[in-house]
Amino acid sequence: MAKSDLNCYLEDENVVHFAPLIVTKKESVNVRLLNQQPIPIDVDITAKSKGKTMPFEISEKAVHINENDFANIVITFAPNSPENYQATFEAVVRNGTNPLTKALKFGIEGAGTIPIICLKTQLDNNNNNNKAKANNNNNNYLINIGKTNIGYTKQKVYAVGNDSPIPCTVLFQIVTKNIVDFEIKDVQIDKKFIVDPGHQFNFTVV
């Protein structure tokens, strides 16, 4: 399993990594701050974005930790757009003097994303009767099978794939008054199914 598939702490990079998350969704992880000293401490906590926006929320701005005790901090990732985000988390012991123990710093990263299903079959832009073309206004595709004599059939195989880093839910529907004139093979109409990242499937239009 790749690091992008789950929330984890990347020790070699000193980074708390969030798996790709659908825009407007939220995901949280717990961070435990330990006080291994024989005296209580007060800790100030900040998180600074490396970009223009800050999609990471920190549950506490300051905590009091008794001697040999701990405090849990929640980091929440809530992306607003499909892009990569980075920030720096820092916890500083108030009035701390030991440079080795007075501060804790690590990176935070995550990517906002949206489900993306796209046509993998190369579009034929020539002016013939057997072509598929995209409507740029709404990402719909028009598949023109061309003229067919009565009593005969014509078909073409197309491939659709998932280019996003998250699984996509797909639903095939036939929206036409002439349902008997068209058929889609190799998929079940009106039944949802999952397409994993980097995968594609074929279907036949008859």
pLDDT tens for residues 51-103? 889 999 999 999 999 999 999 999 999 999 999 999 999 999 999 888 888 99
In degrees rounded to 5, what are phi and psi of residue 199?
A: -105, 160
pLDDT at 186 over 70: yes
**CA distance readout (Å), 72 to 18, 31, 54, 65, 186:** 18, 6, 21, 10, 50
